[in-house]
């Protein structure tokens, strides 16, 4: 979510984001990968807890996870 944007200050969970906006964001990322000639696919959306877990398991050095 944008930092310090009063229109988004109350959003804390994925289900608070309009479905149409989620679709626009997804299409943006799929399209820009096509323009880079890279294959990609969407696996949909997951909430904050699952995202934090994924990042901790795959993206952070072990001492930070």
Q: Distance between CA 59 and CA 45 in Å, rounded?
A: 18
The gap from C-alpha 32 to its chain's centroid, in whole angstroms, comes to: 15
C-alpha dihedral sign at 54, 17, 40, 32:
negative
Whole-prediction pTM = 0.69
| Amino acid 15: pLDDT | 93
What is the full per-residue pLDDT of the chain (65 aa) written as tens digits?
A: 677 889 888 888 899 999 999 999 999 999 998 888 988 889 999 998 998 898 888 887 766 65
Q: Tell me the residue range of the domain where 36 lies.
A: 1-65
Helices (H), ranges, 1-65: 19-35, 48-58
| Amino acid 26: pLDDT | 94
Spatial contact of 30 and 42, defined as CB atoms under 8 Å apart: yes
Count of domains observed in the chain: 1
């Amino acid at each position: 979510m944008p930092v310090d944007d009063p229109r988004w200050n109350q959003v804390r969970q994925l289900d608070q984001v309009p479905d149409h906006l989620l679709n626009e964001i997804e299409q943006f990322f799929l399209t820009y990968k096509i323009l880079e000639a890279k294959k990609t696919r969407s696996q949909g959306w997951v909430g904050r807890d699952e995202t934090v877990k994924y990042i901790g398991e795959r993206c952070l050095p072990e001492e930070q996870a």
